[in-house]
Every structure is written in structure tokens, then in C-alpha cells.
Amino acid sequence: MPFPFNPDQYEAQLTDKVEHLKAIFEGIALPRPEVFRSQPRHYRMRAEFKFWHEGDESWYAMFDPADPKVPVRVDQFPVASELLNRLMTEVREAVHIDPALRERLFQVEFITTQQGDALITLIYHKTLNEDWETRGRYWQEQWGFPVIGRARKQRLVLSRDYVNETLRINGSDYVFRQYENSFTQPNAGVCEQMVGWAQQQTSNGGGDLLELYCGNGNFSIPLAGNFNRALGTEISRVSVQSAQHNITVNNIDNLTIARMSSEDFANAWLGRTESRRLREWAVSDYDFKTLLVDPPRAGLDEDTLALARHFDRIVYVSCNPQSLADNVRALGNDYRIETSAVFDQFPYTHHMEAGVVLVKV
């Protein structure tokens, strides 16, 4: 393993993360964080590996950041789902007996779900021909899950390019289509807790919800029922496509997804630029009370911070607590933190997700 895997030390490392969050927020009144734990094993639903070849032997490889040129052999990956581990073995065995599958294979990606769905992507340094497609279809049938072949300027989808995941949020089930090569939360169990926390924090929100960086609707679909209407913005075309599907299958009738970056939306909403699309979406008709953001690691840019200052309540989930703290400081004394949380998406690493609810004073 390229990082320490020690379930016996799970609680200790989680305690360290909580203390680190408090240190990052030094000088800010931070309520005691609510802590949402991960399963110590088999919690990760997706993983990608380099595929290393030495003579007649081929194996999965990861790299230690401290020594990035030396591959670390990975035969099993105990942080990943049991299904993912099973498929790792089956794919590696197939590669060893099928030259068409093995030749110039350099990366393998797996997506699995809690319900037992999976998707396998094989990535090559060669053009994929009819022979590869024939063998790919054969192994797709043997493995029992869809296969995608990728190479430079090639993407061969042999049956489908998504999995269907069901997340249980505060006692209700929500179905999400997750596409290959698009962002989804890797730790499904913690994702359920994180979305459940956000749903509880907005249970008496009233008015309408605006979510920026909404992805495939992971937050906005379960939260929409707490509001009269909800609007989500997302720049990724694949994520918007997924979100539209997820809205339909979950029978959500008060949520609209707008394909637009947070910066462009902020500038248009603040009247700094003209936007025909905001008029088409009738954004001026919304009565926004709550803003929900789960931004990239860099946090909120200045334009989005300017938009945020117009909201009475901000639910902020972050994969980078440092940029979260910086944004809270930038908002200044106009807001207080009502509640905070730690979501342990990535056990045995220094990474953590954090959440705060900011209320205008």
C-alpha cells in the first residue's frame, strides 16, 4: 500500500484530523465539530491503477509521493470495495492469458457501487482495433460488467458508460447515475452521511436554494424537498447530463440544473454582466435564502464570495479545510459559524472533508 493501512489506528488518526481542523480555524469561533466516521475497510467505491509490465509478469501499481518513480505493487486494495478487489484479480488474470488485452495496457480504472454494479475501463498506449473489441466483448461477458476501452483519441463503450448507485439519505433512497470519467464521491458511506447532514441543516430553510458546483445532483436532489424551489449550477457537460437523468428517476419536480460556471453565474446574478441564460431560467423569480457550495480545492473565488455575501445562510462543504477557513475569514464578521462537521472520506491519509453552516448576523 502506498499509504499506511492500519484499522487498529483508525480512531487515533481521525482524532488527529479533528484537532488539525481546529488548528486551521484558530481565531475563528468554531463550534465543536460533529464527526462522521468511515468504515475502516472496503469503503472506497472507485480506484485507478497504473498497470506495470516486467517480463511475463503484469501487476497493478501505485506510487508513493515520497518516491514517485518507483512503482508499488498492489495485488489487493483493502480500502476499496470487496467487488472492486474481486474484479482486480479477475482482470489481472485475464490480462495474463490474453495478449490482445495485455499489449500496451498502462492503466485500469474501476467504479463500483453499494448495490453491486461496476464499470471497468482499460486504457492503452495503442490504437484499439477490431481484435481488441472482440476480446473486450468476450471478457465483458466473463466479468459480468461493462467494459470501456480508451486510447489516444479513442473511447470504445462496449455496452454502457455508467453505473447506477443508490444512496440512503436519512431513511430515504436516492438513485444516482454515475458516468465514467466524471466526478463522484469515492466513499459512498460517508457521502450518505455528508448529504444527510446537509439535508438536516436545511430542514427549516424556507424560500429557495441555490447550489453552485452541483455535479450530478448529489446534494441538491435530496435537499430539494426542504425548499420551494432549487437551482443548481454546474460547468461539466457530463455532470449536467447525469443530474438531469437523476432528477427524473428520483421524481424531483422543483429542481433546475443550469450549465454555467460559478464565476459566470455570480457576475450575471450580481448584474456585472448580461446573461440571456439567466433570463431563460427566470432566475429573478427565485427567492433565494440558502446557498450551498462544495467547491474545488481552491475554494470560492472573489466573484463567488461576493455572491455569497447576499445570502442569509451558507452551507459550505469543502475537500480543503484550509481554503474553507480562508473563505470564512474573507466573509468577516458578517457571519458566524452555527455548526461544523468533519467527514472522513479518506481514512489513513491527511485528507478530510469539512462542513460549516454560516449564518448572517
Q: How far apart are CA 210 and CA 285, in angstroms?
A: 13
Q: 336 and 358 in contact (C-beta within 8 Å)?
A: yes
- 214 flagged as catalytic: no
Q: Would you mind telling me the total number of residues written for the chain in this entry?
A: 361
Q: 358 and 51 in contact (C-beta within 8 Å)?
A: no
What number of CA atoms fall less than 13 Å from residue 161's CA on the CB side? 14
Amino acid 309: pLDDT: 95
* Domains assigned to the chain: 7-40+187-360 (3.40.50.150), 46-163 (2.40.50.1070)
Q: Is the pLDDT score of 306 beyond 80?
A: yes
- 302 flagged as catalytic: no
Q: How far apart are CA 129 and CA 45, in angstroms?
A: 30
List, as one string, the DSSP characters of 256-282. Answer: EEEE--HHHHHHHHTTSS--HHHHHTT
Burial of 166 (0-12, 13-18, 19+ CB in 10 A): middle
Please pick, among 165, 180, 192, 319, the residue that the annotation labels catalytic: 319
The string of pLDDT tens digits covering residues 173-232 is: 999 999 998 889 999 999 999 999 999 999 987 899 999 999 999 999 999 999 999 999
Rounded mean pLDDT of the chain? Answer: 94
Q: How far apart are CA 114 and CA 41, in angstroms?
A: 14
- Any residues with CB less than 8 A from the CB of 318 and at least 6 apart, and which? 294, 295, 299, 324, 353, 354, 355
Mean pLDDT, to the nearest integer, of 260-281?
90
Amino acid 253: pLDDT: 96
- Using left for φ > 0, alpha for ψ between -120 and 50, and beta otherwise, residue 313 falls in beta
Q: How far apart are CA 304 and CA 321, in angstroms?
A: 18
Q: Is the pLDDT score of 68 beyond 90?
A: no
The string of pLDDT tens digits covering residues 156-169 is: 999 999 999 999 99
Q: Is the pLDDT score of 46 beyond 80?
A: yes
Amino acid 6: pLDDT: 86
What number of CA atoms fall less than 13 Å from residue 35's CA on the CB side? 14
Q: 357 and 48 in contact (C-beta within 8 Å)?
A: no
- Around Cβ 93, how many Cβ atoms within 10 Å? 10
C-alpha cell of residue 23: 488548528
User: With the CA atoms of 95, 97, 102 and 106 taken in that order, what torsion angle do they form, in degrees rounded to the nearest 10?
Assistant: 30
Q: Which residue has the cell 459480468?
A: 144
Q: 320 and 297 in contact (C-beta within 8 Å)?
A: yes
Tell me which H or E stretch contains 99: helix 99-102
